[in-house]
């Protein structure tokens, strides 16, 4: 798996790491755009997350975020396109974390691009073929 980081993300990190925001993740959405699967969600003032991946028979991308309470987001969102099988979410109250797992189709290599749109507070992960 390959990950590309949009240059604007690095410049926004310092701006976004500001104490006092209500750190609530909102609206995890999945849609297909031409030959790409797109996952988007609002960060609610969170610092930009780090994408991590696990390869193998059940490849996936996951993101850990801080959350003081369980966001009102479904635990499973079915995939609609070629690359994303499903999205799973989970809240761990003991360490106040919220994980978003993007389960990928095991039979295809993917490229994941990420971008953050400050004016909309949207973190977007675009998943496509190599």
Residues 94, 80: Cα–Cα separation, whole Å: 33
For 1-55, write each residue's pLDDT tens digit. Answer: 555 544 444 434 434 444 444 457 778 999 998 899 999 998 887 888 889 999 9
Burial class (CB in 10 A: 0-12, 13-18, 19+), 19: exposed
Number of domains, the chain: 1
Note down the domain range covering 85.
2-128
Q: Are 88 and 43 in contact (CB under 8 A)?
A: no
More confident residue, 12 or 127: 127
Q: Tell me, what CATH number does 73's domain have?
A: 2.60.40.3500
pLDDT at position 3: 52
pLDDT at position 124: 95
Using alpha carbons, list the distances in angstroms from residue 32 to 7, 26, 39, 129. 24, 19, 9, 13
Q: Residue with structure tokens 């104490």? A: 19
pLDDT at position 11: 38
Using alpha carbons, list the distances in angstroms from residue 123 to 41, 106, 109. 5, 24, 22
* Secondary structure element (H or E) that encloses residue 14, with its range: helix 7-16
Mean pLDDT score of the chain: 82
72: which 2 tokens? 């009102």
Residues 62, 97: Cα–Cα separation, whole Å: 13
């Amino acid at each position: 798996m390959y990950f590309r980081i949009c240059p604007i993300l690095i410049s926004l990190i310092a701006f976004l790491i500001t104490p006092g925001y209500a750190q609530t993740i909102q609206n995890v959405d999945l849609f297909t755009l031409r030959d790409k699967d797109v996952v988007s969600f609002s960060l609610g003032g969170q610092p930009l997350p780090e994408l991590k991946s696990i390869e193998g028979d059940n490849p996936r991308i996951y993101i850990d975020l801080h959350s003081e309470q369980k966001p009102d987001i479904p635990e499973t969102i079915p995939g609609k396109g070629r690359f994303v099988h499903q999205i799973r979410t989970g809240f761990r109250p003991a360490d106040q974390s919220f994980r978003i797992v993007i389960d990928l189709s095991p039979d295809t290599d993917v490229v994941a691009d990420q971008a953050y749109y400050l004016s909309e507070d949207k973190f977007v992960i675009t998943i496509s073929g190599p």
